Amino acid sequence: MNMIDLRHRIEQIIDAPLIENSIPLHKWLELGGNESRQIGVPLVIDGVRCWPWAFSEEYVNVWEIEPVSLQDSESQLIELLLQTAANQIRPSQGDKDNEEAAVLELGAWLRAQLKEEIPQQMIPERFVLKKRLSESSVPFLLSSESRTKPHMQYQKLNKLLKSYFGSDLLLIPVEEQEWLILVGESQLEDLRQVSEESREAERAMLDDLGQGVYELIANEWVGNFHISVAQPVIPEQSLVEVTELLRETLILGKIFHVSEQIHLPWTFHLERLVYSIPDKQRKQFMARTDIAMGIFNDPETLSTLETFFQLDCNVSETAKRLYIHRNTLLYRMDKIKQETGLDVRSFKDAVLVKLTLLLYKVTKRK
């Protein structure tokens, strides 16, 4: 059993969540952490009890919980289980090929860097996986939102993904029910052989891979989860940067493409711009616009507009996609014009409606 699965088992026993965190080693020692770096011996920091389960040269990986949430016997149980599992789970000098231990260590470093204002981009030499991360890989970020369903377990998820991609894969836990998946770029070779080599063709292949991963996991786990996919990178050089990009892509996808589960960074250029506008300025624009916001509350109108914009404002293709007669679509557009004063068949008006729709989605979510 690895640390992720062990934590989930303990959470079931004590009926309370253990929060994963990374604390700088110097801060841990300043606050009274043991110099011997003994696994499992807890420390209370700002009213929160922290159990160390791994030490590196720079960070201490801990589980956190408020002391009032558990009994002394439960605290002692966690300490005992950690100390018992330490030698089996943590990498040692004679266990450099322990992939589970290596990805847990890497995941802890990645979490810490994502919290830094100026993160370290290059992966330090000390990591066992550094050599594997020097090869080009396709990055996926898997995020599960199901709190009441059984958690995805590392071993089962890793086995499932390797049955699909083969051994050229690394599954790195980032946060609670958030996983970074790195797949060797060689996985694209078979697809490239049957498609023209171009940026659009490669992006279509990545979309297909994302769909494949989603369907694979959906057959095993019940619940709501999302996947973002980026173009191939060298993880050794840009692991933090690409994880930030994939996280941002998931956020944008959940706001602007609520009916989709696969999200691609290159489909959110305008959405990224709108999302970057300060909240105050967004609200001011919405308050001053003459467009009636009620049109976006109507599912039929909303579906019509989104499909129309998705298909490059092509009336005939939009009617086909919506399975309606062309005249029915024109009637809907005339109705939108009557309510807003804007004709979405006009480029200028279409841009204004599109921007207003995106701003509406952001402000409505907030």
201 & 318 share domain: no
Q: Which of 246, 266, 286 is the last residue of a domain?
A: 266
For 296-324, give one letter per residue: b (16+ CB within 10 A) or e.
beeeebeebbbbbbebeeeeeebbeebee
Q: Are residues 192 and 329 in the same domain?
A: no
Please provide residue 143's backbone torsions phi and psi, each rounded to the nearest 5 degrees: -130, 125
CATH number at residue 288: 1.10.10.2840
Q: Is residue 142 part of a domain?
A: yes
Q: Is the model more confident about 215 or about 69?
A: 215
Residue 337 structural domain: 277-365
- Inside any domain, residue 346: yes
Closest CA to 89 of 152, 155, 35: 155
Domain containing residue 229: CATH number: 3.30.70.270
Closest CA to 129 of 171, 189, 178: 171
Question: Which own/partner contact pairs does 32-41 have at CB distance under 8 Å and 24+ positions apart?
Answer: 33/60, 38/83, 39/82, 39/83, 39/86, 39/90, 40/78, 40/79, 40/80, 40/81, 40/82, 40/83, 40/86, 41/79
CA torsion through residues 206, 114, 171, 5, sign: negative
For residue 52, tell me if it sits in a domain.
yes
- Asked if residue 341 belongs to a domain, the reply is yes
| 108 and 253 belong to one structural domain | yes
Distance from chain centroid for Cα 262: 11
Per the DSSP assignment, residues forming a β-bridge with 23 are: 60
Look at residues 37, 65, 89 and tell me which one is the last residue of a structural domain: 89
Instruction: Kindly write down the DSSP assignment for every residue of 101-139, as one continuous string.
Output: HHHHHHHHHHHHHHHSSS---SPPTT-TTTTGGGS-EEE
**127 plus 169 within the same structural domain:** yes
- Do 205 and 122 fall into the same domain? yes
Does residue 172 sit within a domain? yes
What does the pLDDT read at residue 319? 93
Is residue 127 domain-shared with residue 241, that is, in the same domain?
A: yes
Residue 187 pLDDT grade (very low, low, confident, very high; cuts 50, 70, 90): low
The number of distinct structural domains making up the chain is 3
- pLDDT confidence band for 2 (50 / 70 / 90): low
Same domain, 347 and 229: no
Last residue of a domain, one of 266, 293, 320: 266
201-214 average pLDDT score:
87
166 domain residue, yes or no: yes
Q: Is the pLDDT of residue 17 over 50?
A: yes
Digit-coded pLDDT (tens) for 234-283: 999 999 999 999 999 999 999 998 888 999 999 999 999 999 988 888 88
| Residue 40 domain flag | yes
Residues 32 and 105 both lie in one domain: no
**Rg, Å, the chain Cα set:** 24
Strand ranges for 185-311 from DSSP E: 225-229, 262-263
Q: Which of 114-123, 160-169, 194-203, 234-243 has the lowest mean pLDDT?
A: 194-203
Task: Say if residue 209 is in the same domain as residue 74.
Answer: no
70 and 116 in a single domain? The answer is no
Question: For 211-235, what is each residue's pLDDT tens digit?
Answer: 989 998 888 876 788 999 999 999 9
Asked whether residue 128 falls in the same domain as residue 191, the answer is yes
Look at the pTM and tell me if it is higher than 0.85.
no
Tell me, yes or no, whether 291 and 170 share the same domain.
Answer: no
Whether 360 is in a domain gets the answer yes
